[in-house]
Amino acid sequence: MNLTFLGSGNIARAIIVGLVAGGTKPSDVTAADPFPAALDEAAKLGIKTTDNNHDAVASADVVVISVKPNIVPELAQSIASDVGERLLISVAAGITTASLSNWLTPETHIVRCMPNTPAQIQSGITGLYATPQITETERNIAEEILSAVGETIWVQDESDLNAVTAVSGSGPAYFFYIMEVMQEAAIGLGLSPEIAQKLVLETALGASKMAHAEIANKPPAQLRREVTSPGGTTEAALNVLLARDLSGVFRDAIRAANARSIELAKDA
């Protein structure tokens, strides 16, 4: 299977790294990009590179659009006559399948994906949506490709990708922010920046691993209760968070991200 990436930025290179690590031959992968510096980075992975989108699509079985959203309209229209019934996978945020079909053709076989930034270290999660033209074989191919950078989930309604964006697409920033403020608080208590950083990062990593390992039998709420001794330090901290309605703040924040995702899709 020959795979072409239109755009060779971070997410494209992350997928390529994951695929090659999983056994894909570098010679079966092509990256097309107009920028020589980007192609130089892609070439370091041992794959084929080109600045000619038409040639890259013509030689492909599967095409992955992995460029910035503002570039997609022009790119899609420029390859409309080349794509045919090839499987086209888009990881361009906010670009709907309706828009892609309009720029390409209504018959184009499209899978739209929403990965997140941990995909860059093969620890992401990607939401996928398949248009009606997609066959079971094509679903399996798309899932195999995106599984190269982490876990995958399929949604039945394309609009659900807005919620996926709000929760997991933007989600890493929420956790980074929590780590940031915890480090600042630790430094405020007199710890050195180095110690504060190590404590917070390892605590976040350990808590995530523990939740992942226990989730079948213990949801996060139970894990939280188990570590919260009555009258103890954890309870004292949680009482402050509960009193200030942190859960409400997070609900509002994620709803805001969801609403913005919907707006961006409408503007595309």
Give me the pLDDT at residue 121, please. Answer: 95
Pairwise CA distance, residues 53 & 129, whole Å: 25
Give me the pLDDT at residue 217, please. Answer: 86
Give me the pLDDT at residue 260, please. Answer: 94
Bridge partners of residue 31, in order along the sequence? 5, 49
Q: What is the pLDDT along the chain (268 residues), one digit of tens a residue?
A: 999 999 999 999 999 999 999 999 999 999 999 999 999 999 999 999 999 999 999 999 999 999 999 999 999 999 999 998 899 999 998 899 999 999 999 889 999 999 999 999 999 999 999 999 999 999 999 999 999 999 999 999 999 999 999 999 999 999 999 999 999 999 999 999 999 999 999 999 999 999 999 887 899 999 999 999 999 999 999 999 999 999 999 999 999 999 999 998 887 6
Give me the pLDDT at residue 215, please. Answer: 82
Pairwise CA distance, residues 129 & 228, whole Å: 40
